[in-house]
Amino acid sequence: MYLYHFGLRELPFTLTPNTNFYLGLEPHNEALAVLLTALKTGEGFIKVVGEVGTGKTLMCRKLLNEIPAHFVTAYIPNPYLKPDELRRAVAVELGVKQAQRMSVQLLTQRIQQRLVELHNQGHSVVLILDEAQALPAESLEALRLFTNLETETRKLLQVVLFAQPELDERLAEKAFRQLKQRITFSYKLRAMTALEVEHYIQHRLQVAGYKGASLFSHSLAKKIAKVSSGIPRLVNIICHKMLMLGYGEGSYQLTNKHLVSAIQDTEGTQSRVPDKFYIVSLVIIALVVSLYYSWQVIGESI
């Protein structure tokens, strides 16, 4: 790959959510502050919504790393589970033994006993679900019932939902009005600005070990921000492809030509910048057509 060529220790623009590359930009710092503040209250549901590729899973993992020590976490990365499967997954995360063999009724009792036990030990329990928009309707209701478990002073279980905007559309339905009322804190992740994209690119290169002259100029970073709409995942894809193209040409400086090629090979970009060779082809075709019709006119006049 291009690691040695550019003097990198590791790939800077992978799609794997790696908290080592976390950059505390305004939207992510705000989201993390909301999450930690909300968890301290010990009440209900907390929701973080963002478009595809805005960094929800990275935020989720950052929360798991930053959460205070007295919290016990149950993390469900793929919540496309039926209610019974969801209960068993939560039970396993909380350390309930033989959870896969119990009846639903006994399992629910054991989960409640475990929550009370953890509470008496001075722990707070939080259930964290990524991609929560994929939860079946019955499982959303099961989640609401989970939060009915409480002492006289606080809930025994808090729930954090990381989701795409489709979750808000579902919660707007009348059937989910009870669950919606349980959401005490909510935050919507926004895309990055052009300046944030430039900072983001340079930060990831530095973390990956790059020490040379700037690879992505201010102008290139601005264009990347525009075509990616500031979505971190698309920024990563475009930058990775540009580095591959630069390496393939033996170049140590990335140019607009590399950006154009990367955009043309990337789905989901805001606009596709026409390749200069494509433009030249269109001009040649236009000239040929123009000459053809000119010859026809001349022939008819003769």
Instruction: Provide the pLDDT for residue 289.
Output: 39
Question: 262 and 232 share a domain?
Answer: yes
Question: 160 and 203 share a domain?
Answer: no
Question: 143 and 247 share a domain?
Answer: no
Q: In which domain, by residue range, is 84 found? A: 26-188
CA 156 from centroid of its chain's CA atoms: 29
Question: Which of 146, 165, 188 delimits the end of a domain?
Answer: 188
Does 119 map to a domain? Answer: yes
Instruction: Provide the pLDDT for residue 270.
Output: 60
Question: 97 and 73 share a domain?
Answer: yes
Does 213 map to a domain? Answer: yes
Does 5 map to a domain? Answer: no
Question: 70 and 145 share a domain?
Answer: yes
Question: 144 and 71 share a domain?
Answer: yes
Does 3 map to a domain? Answer: no
Question: 117 and 148 share a domain?
Answer: yes
Does 13 map to a domain? Answer: no
Question: 77 and 139 share a domain?
Answer: yes
Question: 35 and 182 share a domain?
Answer: yes
Instruction: Provide the pLDDT for residue 273.
Output: 44
CATH number at residue 257: 1.10.8
Question: 34 and 142 share a domain?
Answer: yes
Does 18 map to a domain? Answer: no
Instruction: Provide the pLDDT for residue 279.
Output: 44
- Digit-by-digit pLDDT tens for the chain (302 residues) are 789 999 999 999 998 889 999 998 898 999 999 999 999 888 789 999 999 999 999 999 999 999 999 999 999 988 889 999 998 999 999 999 888 888 888 988 899 999 999 999 999 999 999 999 999 999 998 888 888 877 767 788 999 999 999 999 999 999 999 999 989 899 999 999 999 999 999 999 999 999 988 999 999 999 999 999 999 999 999 999 999 999 999 998 899 999 999 998 887 666 544 444 444 433 433 443 354 445 444 444 44
Does 244 map to a domain? Answer: yes
Question: 50 and 184 share a domain?
Answer: yes
The number of folded domains in the chain is 3
Does 301 map to a domain? Answer: yes
CATH number at residue 141: 3.40.50.300
Question: Which of 158, 188, 218 delimits the end of a domain?
Answer: 188
Q: CA 185, CA 166: separation in Å to the nearest integer? A: 18
Question: 173 and 265 share a domain?
Answer: no
Question: Which of 188, 216, 238 delimits the end of a domain?
Answer: 188
Instruction: Provide the pLDDT for residue 280.
Output: 42
